[in-house]
Amino acid sequence: MNRIVFVNRYYRPDHSATAQLLTDLAQSLAAGGAEVAVVSSRQCYDNPRERLGAREQLEGVEVHRVWTSRFGRSNLLGRAFDYLSFYISSLLHLLLFVKPGDVLVVKTDPPMISVIGAVVAKIKGAVLVNWLQDLFPEVAKELGVGAIKPPVYAVLKRIRNWSLKSARHNIVLGDLMAARIDAEIAQPGKTRVIPNWVIQKDIGAIDSADNPLRREWRLDEKFVVGYSGNLGRAHEFGTILDAALQLRDETGIQFLFIGGGAQLAPVKQFVERHGLDNVAFQNYQPLEQLAYSLSAADLHLVSLQPGLEGLIVPSKFYGIVAVGRPLAFIGARDGELGRLIDAHQCGASIAPGDAEALARFILDLKNDRERHALLARNSKRVHLEHFTRDHSLRAWQSVIA
């Protein structure tokens, strides 16, 4: 097998989702006997001032960390400098490091890094595989990023599409994302769906009575409606908050947000402004606590703005089904998660803005434990049949081979 070189801005010991997924895959391939290298930055996602070592060997993976500026994510201009410096440093390093016949697997952090991968693959005679976690510049346009004006958008999209056409494979997370790529590059044979997976191996449900986090967070005897992960701009929270407002007098129901992100502050402000005692907040939990934190909820919430369907697949879905919990998806019913929920009967799809329907679904599950148990079993089954870590890693091994 030829050498495999991954490119992503973050890698172990960083704990961001892209870093953890990449670490899982790289270590799995190395354990199978492949020669694996990773080119990343010296930063950590949540600590831009961190200065990781320039080179080390981790679990059989050769890690090369290139220099970048370290402004972090607090402002767009600083983030742009971090991106630009990674583009330049990774390009120079890859031109020296990559050999003919190497398999160059490029992720999507920073955006448009697939273009760097395509340039290097062309010059060095490497095989390019793009691993697309989202589609840029479409996501930026949909979220109203100010710098993405129509002429800029058109140019970025044309360059991005060239990099996708240059690849042997474009790996995407769902069918709608695959359809988008096929429509853009008109080369459907290059697109393949491999879902993400829950990071912690062999994760399973923890019974409420045996979950120390439920006791620590004073959730005993409550029906817990949880949101776990990033509260980002791609997600819609008005429906969730309005449902919490409607259910404020239902003392047996507790909403729980675990995580952080750009919308955490306005969500907290809404809760404080309305005096909602039925909404609680917890920080991100350590990876080794993932089974406990996900199992703390009886029902999980996932949301996505409908305009982002086919551009993003919410990764929190994989952890929810791994612990066998039902979910309420606030978004497009004909979207990626909406279709999965309908096909496997593991929850409900709620239209954004329909807080009454969400509140009614929550009450129904709280009061009908048999229905809750059925949806929970269906959720666990869809994980075991379609979304285990081994399913995805085997698919990746097939692509690399």
| 127 and 69 fall within a common domain | yes
In terms of residues, how long is the chain? 401
In a domain, 337, yes or no: yes
Other C-beta atoms closer than 10 Å to the C-beta of 235 total: 24
pLDDT at residue 350, as a whole number = 97
In a domain, 260, yes or no: yes
Residue 311's CATH number: 3.40.50.2000
pLDDT at residue 158, as a whole number = 96
| 133 and 40 fall within a common domain | yes
| 233 and 348 fall within a common domain | yes
In a domain, 391, yes or no: no
pLDDT at residue 332, as a whole number = 95
| 305 and 348 fall within a common domain | yes
Per-residue pLDDT of the chain (401 residues; tens, 9 = 90+): 689 999 999 999 987 888 889 999 999 999 999 999 999 999 887 777 778 998 999 999 999 999 998 887 777 788 888 899 999 999 999 999 999 999 999 999 999 999 999 999 999 999 999 999 999 999 999 988 767 888 999 999 999 999 999 999 999 999 999 999 999 998 888 999 999 998 766 678 888 888 999 999 999 899 999 999 889 899 999 999 999 999 999 999 999 999 988 899 999 999 999 999 999 999 988 888 889 999 999 999 999 999 999 999 998 999 999 999 999 999 999 999 999 999 999 999 999 999 999 999 999 999 999 999 999 999 999 999 999 999 999 999 999 98
Q: Which of 161, 193, 225 represents a domain boundary (last residue)?
A: 193
Q: Which of 193, 220, 244 represents a domain boundary (last residue)?
A: 193
CB 82 within 8 A of CB 51: no
In a domain, 392, yes or no: no
Q: Looking at the 3D structure of the chain, how many domains does it have?
A: 2
> What whole-number distance in Å separates Cα of residue 334 and Cα of residue 342?
9
| 148 and 262 fall within a common domain | no
| 171 and 237 fall within a common domain | no
| 50 and 184 fall within a common domain | yes
Q: pLDDT digit string (tens) for 179-215?
A: 999 999 988 889 999 999 987 666 788 888 889 999 9
| 306 and 182 fall within a common domain | no
In a domain, 356, yes or no: yes
Q: Which of 141, 159, 193 represents a domain boundary (last residue)?
A: 193
Q: What is the extent of the structural domain holding 276? A: 208-386
pLDDT at residue 188, as a whole number = 82
pLDDT at residue 202, as a whole number = 65
CB 305 within 8 A of CB 278: no
| 359 and 227 fall within a common domain | yes
In a domain, 354, yes or no: yes
DSSP for 213-258 reads: HHHHTT-TT-EEEEEEEE--TTS--HHHHHHHHHTTT-TTEEEEEE
At 241, give phi and psi (nearest 5°). -70, -40
pLDDT at residue 171, as a whole number = 97
In a domain, 202, yes or no: no
| 89 and 179 fall within a common domain | yes
| 217 and 318 fall within a common domain | yes
pLDDT at residue 61, as a whole number = 97
DSSP for 86-119 reads: HHHHHHHHHHHH--TT-EEEE-SSSTTHHHHHHH
pLDDT at residue 80, as a whole number = 85
pLDDT at residue 1, as a whole number = 63
| 118 and 250 fall within a common domain | no
> What whole-number distance in Å separates Cα of residue 316 and Cα of residue 337?
11
- pTM above the 0.75 mark? yes
> What whole-number distance in Å separates Cα of residue 332 and Cα of residue 308?
10
Q: pLDDT digit string (tens) for 338-374?
A: 999 999 999 999 999 999 999 999 999 999 999 999 9
In a domain, 399, yes or no: no
Indicate the SS3 state at residue 70. Answer: coil
